[in-house]
Amino acid sequence: MEEDQELERKISGLKTSMAEGERKTALEMVQAAGTDRHCVTFVLHEEDHTLGNSLRYMIMKNPEVEFCGYTTTHPSESKINLRIQTRGALPAVEPFQRGLNELMNVCQHVLDKFEASIKEYKDQKASRNESTF
């Protein structure tokens, strides 16, 4: 992923502020010079396989994405490089944002279904306990 000769590092996207006057980057975009915005490497700080693998899966499910992969740079550093290459001229930020939103929707749906299932199980158990009396 880092075979590009000249790197143009742009710090964009979210910045989380930890305390007064101290700002920590959460996201960086790295783009090789000479390419347009359709192949980009995103560097996500303070992230690991938890977000990396699930986000990679969601982005790969997008038919506009030609390539998506992620890697942890080194086990001592907690950051991941996520590379997205899109078909045609679609800017890579778009499937990235879409993947994040879709992942949020999936998790929300799983949470709703899980809570409903737990409640149903508890109700069933309660009614079964009552019926044995």
Partner 1 sequence: MAAARAVQEMRTRVVLGEFGVRNVHTTDFPGNYSGYDDAWDQDRFEKNFRVDVVHLDENSLEFDMVGIDAAIANAFRRILLAEVPTMAVEKVLVYNNTSIVQDEILAHRLGLIPIHADPRLFEYRNQGDEEGTEIDTLQFRLQVRCTRNPHAAKDSSDPNELYVNHKVYTRHMTWVPLGNQADLFPEGTIRPVHDDILIAQLRPGQEIDLLMHCVKGIGKDHAKFSPVATASYRLLPDITLLEPVEGEAAEELSRCFSPGVIEVQEVQGKKVARVANPRLDTFSREVFRNEKLKKLVRLARSLSSQQGCCHQTC
| Residues 64-93 close enough to bind partner 1 by CB under 8 A | none
# of chain residues touching partner 1 (CB under 8 A)? 30
Q: What is the CA radius of gyration of the chain?
A: 21
Does residue 114 interact with partner 1 by CB under 8 A? yes
Does residue 63 interact with partner 1 by CB under 8 A? yes
For residue 46, the SS3 value is coil
Order of all β-strands in the sheet with 65-72: 7-10, 27-32, 39-45, 79-86, 65-72
Other CB atoms within 10 Å distance of the CB of residue 94? 16
Does residue 60 interact with partner 1 by CB under 8 A? yes
For residue 14, the SS3 value is coil
Q: Which is nearer to partner 1, 29 or 44 (CB)?
A: 44
Q: Which is nearer to partner 1, 12 or 71 (CB)?
A: 71
Minimum CB separation of residue 53 from partner 1 in Å reads 5
- Using H for helix, E for strand and C for coil, what is the string for 16-69? EEEECCEEEECEEEEEECCCCCCEEEEEEECCCHHHHHHHHHHHHCCCCEEEEE
Does residue 110 interact with partner 1 by CB under 8 A? yes
Contact with partner 1 (CB under 8 A) among 1, 23, 121, 126: 121
Per CB under 8 A, residues contacting partner 1 are 19, 48-51, 53-54, 56-58, 60-63, 102-103, 105-107, 109-110, 113-114, 116-118, 120-122, 125
